[in-house]
Structure 1
């Protein structure tokens, strides 16, 4: 198991960061499948045993990348979320920022996805190993909802951050496969999706829609229990 943050000294944290950075360099140069833990250790200037002390496998190194992307994503939207109150504007900020943060790694994302698409893989965004990155990303959408002008039924309010995260995962999947210049199609998709989501969420307060919303919330609760 990788070393937990609470157990790391400053020197250990630097070593861990050096290994993670070396891994990303080799993933870009040799591809995910072509990079080995031995080569990563050599690139980082540490022993193979030391590399395995911090990361059990290449998959755990990718998890470190996932975590770093979430930190960068949160930082990229912090200022805008502090000043924008409209739900649509806040959601647009978050959905627009992610491709900018991840753009240098678009070529790698396709390689990672071959493994992440397997629901049994630790690289799946739904895996137990991905829980920290998933929680960090969902927390961003929690901020989108909490600081917005939305008025929601309590049940939908509880579920909305996770529903927005699932929407985000769909957009990420489109981005991974997007071969348009600078992934412009993905940007356009996010632009078009935001007003649709905004309207649907606001319609949820209408009596004629509220029953359907309650059914969806109950369904999500049942799926989570299952």
Structure 2
């Protein structure tokens, strides 16, 4: 039951982060006072620090998001939700464009396939991260690390490939501009998640170097 509740809270905060209709929860209590600076400091090491802080600061009230492991979990979960959200929008747009045989349909259809792959790969990354946390510092851990890095990098590549379907145009339609913005957001939050995971994985590499 506790896991289900945590998942619902995660989904709710991700929704708020995406639609931007409310401000992130204001930090309250000792845990949040510690978590907020930790999130901000960690996000400085990402490619899009402001976006990183914007999304993850909503979790500052959580007593668990004070270490690289939890931060990586949350960042990957946010990326997965963004990819799901974008996939839903693309699916709806593709159906509309196909119905009227619009010339934009092939590009949107190809982009949808790429984001479908991103959703799958990010899901695999999160599952692999859980398996990684169950392992001791051994060669198995580095196998899990490699898998997470490979799948998350692939999700980022797919989003970038989708962006190539929509080169910048002087008079870009509203739909194409919206799609490009959503896919760009997926690429950026995934890039941030990968950077935060690298930071978490570094602890295992450091531990391995100190082993006799």
The TM-score normalised by the length of structure 1 is 0.30
Q: Which has the higher contact order (CA 8 A, sep 6+)?
A: 2
The TM-score normalised by the length of structure 2 is 0.32
